[in-house]
Amino acid sequence: MLTDDVRRVPIAFLPTPLVEMRRLTEELGGPRIFVKRDDQTGLATGSNKARKLEFLIAEALDEGADTVLTVGSAQSNHARQTAAAPAMHGLRSVLVLRGSRPDHWNGNLLLDDLLGARVHWAGDEPPHETMMEMAREE
């Protein structure tokens, strides 16, 4: 396997189950259909992003990083997962989110805050440029 020689840190509850969708298979007249339940990875309500973060957080730790930055939208599952994974391993997270700060935080944005992420709003600026500015500040 390609990842055998690459360090990873434990984040996800793996393997996640495969669930047969019997009624859908029956409705379609076959073939057998299965769903991989990556919502059960355990990291901040689950997602397939946890698999990738196992490698990225290991790399950040190996490089001596203290902060992980990413770009996303206000309700991004990716941003939520990136807020949770560094927190598990003693790292800070900075989320550069598109647009402007909403009046009320809910959903993933509320979870980002509860997970301790520093949230920065890109406003009308290109989010990746804003992220580079934040990286220089951190």
Of the candidates 80, 81, 131, the one whose C-alpha atom is nearest the C-alpha of residue 106 is: 80
Token code pair at residue 49: 């992003």
Res 85: pLDDT: 97
Is 53 among the domain residues? no
Is 17 among the domain residues? no
Is 76 among the domain residues? yes
Residue 41 to residue 25: CA distance in whole angstroms: 25
Is 99 among the domain residues? yes
Token code pair at residue 37: 């339940």
From the candidates 47, 73, 76, 100, give the one annotated as an active-site residue.
Answer: 76
- The pTM of this model reads 0.84
Is 129 among the domain residues? yes
User: Which structural domain range is residue 72 located in?
Assistant: 66-137
Q: Which helix (H) or strand (E) holds 92?
A: strand 92-97
User: What CATH code is carried by the domain that includes residue 117?
Assistant: 3.40.50.1100
pLDDT digits (tens, 9 = 90+) for 55-66: 999 999 999 999
What is the total count of domains within the chain? Answer: 1
Is 74 among the domain residues? yes
Is 127 among the domain residues? yes
Residue 36 to residue 114: CA distance in whole angstroms: 28
Token code pair at residue 107: 């959903």
Q: Is the pLDDT score of 1 beyond 60?
A: no
pLDDT digits (tens, 9 = 90+) for 71-126: 999 999 999 999 999 999 999 999 999 999 999 999 999 999 999 999 999 999 99
Computed over every residue of the chain, the mean pLDDT equals: 93
H helices present in 3-76, as ranges: 22-28, 49-62
Is 12 among the domain residues? no
Give yes or no: 76 in active site.
yes
pLDDT digits (tens, 9 = 90+) for 11-59: 999 999 999 999 999 999 999 999 999 989 998 888 889 999 999 999 9
